[in-house]
């Protein structure tokens, strides 16, 4: 009878290594009682701007960064673009079109999009500003953070982060950049796809519809 090799007991799960404790409204609470608010910024096709417009945008963006009195983190996320929904949209237009010429042009355009995606790696880029909140702002650090009440930390984080959020949104608007504060659903989608990497990403169902915090495949 073969001797079965001893196996080490499972002491930790993947979630143990993820720093996120909870997402409340637009506040991302971490396990060390720090918090983050995430702002997504729309892209600008810089190379389509005139030389004067490019110089103006660079100067305005530099002024924005230099005027900040609090730390921020800038994240650029690149992933392969999923055009399946757009292909489905075109197919719907083709099916409902009663004009033969328009239908033929839509079919030709749909085929063109499919060929572009097959022959080239079409990337979607997303840009984020992350504004942090530290438990040091509450006068605590290290092991002292473990006994803090979550609701209290989130309340203090909102008091600290919301004025910074509004200030940053105003500065981005002056530069001509469209900014959106990520809420619970968007934050959940973002981090799910960061920790569960796939070619084009996955859109989750509404977070309120889940009955468990642990997601499994199948």
pLDDT at 11: 53
Q: Count Cα neighbours of 120 within 13 Å in the Cβ-side half-sphere.
A: 10
Q: What is the pTM of this model?
A: 0.72
74-124: per-residue pLDDT in tens? 999 887 777 788 888 888 988 888 888 898 998 999 888 888 877 777 777
Helices (H), the chain: 14-17, 51-67, 84-96, 100-119, 150-175, 184-195
Q: What is the largest CA-CA distance in the chain?
A: 81
Supply angle C-alpha 195, 201, 204, rounded to 5.
85
Continuous segment of H or E residues that includes residue 74: strand 73-80
Residue 10: is its pLDDT beyond 70?
A: no
Residue 201 has phi, psi (to 5 degrees) of 90, 175
**Residue 218, pLDDT score:** 44
What is the mean pLDDT of the segment spanning 143-147?
63
* C-alpha to C-alpha distance for 142 and 122, rounded to whole angstroms: 44
- For 39, phi then psi, to 5°, come to -120, 125
Whether the per-residue pLDDT at 217 is higher than 50: the answer is no
- Alpha carbon distance 76, 54 (integer Å): 20
Query: What residues contact 28, with CB distance under 8 A and at least 6 apart?
Result: 20, 35, 36, 37, 38, 187
**164-192 confidence digits (pLDDT tens):** 999 999 999 988 889 999 999 999 888 88
Query: Please, are residues 118 and 110 in contact by the beta-carbon 8 Å criterion?
Result: no
**End-to-end Cα spacing for the chain:** 36
pLDDT in the model for residue 6:
53
């Amino acid at each position: 009878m073969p001797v079965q090799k001893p196996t080490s007991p499972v002491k930790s799960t993947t979630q143990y290594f993820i720093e996120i404790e909870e997402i409340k409204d637009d506040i991302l609470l971490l396990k060390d009682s720090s918090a983050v608010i995430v702002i997504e910024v729309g892209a600008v096709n810089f190379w389509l701007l005139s030389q004067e417009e490019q110089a103006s945008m660079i100067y305005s963006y530099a002024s924005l960064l230099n005027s900040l009195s609090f730390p921020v983190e800038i994240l650029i996320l690149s992933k392969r673009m999923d055009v399946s929904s757009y292909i489905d949209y075109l197919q719907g237009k083709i099916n409902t079109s009663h004009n033969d010429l328009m239908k033929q042009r839509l079919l030709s355009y749909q085929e063109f999009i499919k060929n572009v995606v097959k022959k080239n790696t079409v990337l979607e880029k997303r840009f984020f500003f992350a504004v942090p909140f530290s438990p040091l702002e509450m006068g605590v650090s290290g092991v002292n953070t473990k006994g803090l009440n979550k609701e209290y930390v989130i309340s203090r984080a909102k008091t600290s982060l919301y004025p910074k959020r509004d200030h940053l949104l105003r500065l981005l608007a002056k530069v001509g950049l469209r900014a959106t504060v990520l809420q619970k659903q968007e934050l959940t989608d973002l981090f799910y796809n960061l920790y569960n990497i796939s070619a084009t990403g996955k859109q989750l169902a509404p977070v309120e519809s889940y009955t468990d915090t642990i997601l499994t495949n199948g």
